[in-house]
Amino acid sequence: MKKIIFILFTLTLVLSSYGFEREYVKRAVLTKDQEKEVIALAQKCGIKKVAKISTHNMFPTPFRGISVQGAEEVKGREVSYQVLSVSHGEWLQEGAKPGKGQVQLGDFWAGKPYARKQTILKVNKKEYRVGSINKMKPEECETILGMFLNGEFDHTPVVREKSLNQVDWTKPRRFSKRGENISIGFLHKAGPGGGFFDLQVKLVGNELTIVQMFQAVP
């Protein structure tokens, strides 16, 4: 079996002080005062407790955006929380304004938060979150994820080593099965702003093979 060794790197700044997590791309770092405005805006929009503020590039444009995540509710394997997309006037096209029904506070505005659900996968006593699982059991996903994390997989010649080295195996997005075909999504090591990968894999016994691999670039 071919083992892939990779160096984990990130273009984001992650901090966990002041009661919530920050994950900012280099071109979109909020000041403390701006954070206070974003939190106040989120509360006005219905998020009672802010757990995380993140920023992202809106490729291929030069614009940037903000995402605010509310506190999680965990029931067994299921995790649910609210997400609010926030706009910053200085990070959008000139003349950008709030839409109908949106709430504005200073240079920031937002509409209504939406609900997001995830499933907890456990591998080697560590937890990983996945956005969706279709026609597979969580235990099956855990087995496959563990093989990726341990480098216990092979790939066909059409799959490039260079692309494999860019996959963040700790950030699965989805698992789906149709017949014997399994499709799995992972984020890029650069984070959400770096796009994601879709892998078509086959699992025969203890042999995991990546048959095809596609990359989505934002």
Residues carrying CATH 3.10.450, the chain: 121-216
Smallest CA-to-CA distance from 182 within 145, 151, 157, 149 is with: 145
Beta strands 167-178; 181-188: pairing state: antiparallel
SS (H, E, C) 180-206: CEEEEEEEECCCHHHCEEEEEEEEECC
Nearest alpha-carbon partner for 38 in 91, 95, 80: 91
pLDDT at 67: 97
- The two tokens of residue 90 are 């200085």
Amino acid letter at 47? I
pLDDT attached to residue 12: 42
Please tell me whether the overall predicted TM-score, pTM, comes out greater than 0.75 for this model: yes
Q: Tell me what pLDDT residue 193 has.
A: 66
- Could you say which residues of the chain have pLDDT below 70? 1-18, 192-193, 217-218
Q: What are the tens digits of pLDDT across the range 22-71?
A: 999 889 999 999 999 999 999 999 999 999 999 998 888 999 999 999 99
Looking at residue 53, its amino acid is I
> What are the residue ranges of helices labelled H in the chain?
32-44, 138-149, 161-164
Task: Specify the fold of 121-216.
Answer: Nuclear Transport Factor 2; Chain: A, (3.10.450)
Cα–Cα distance for residue pair 63/96, rounded to 1 Å: 11
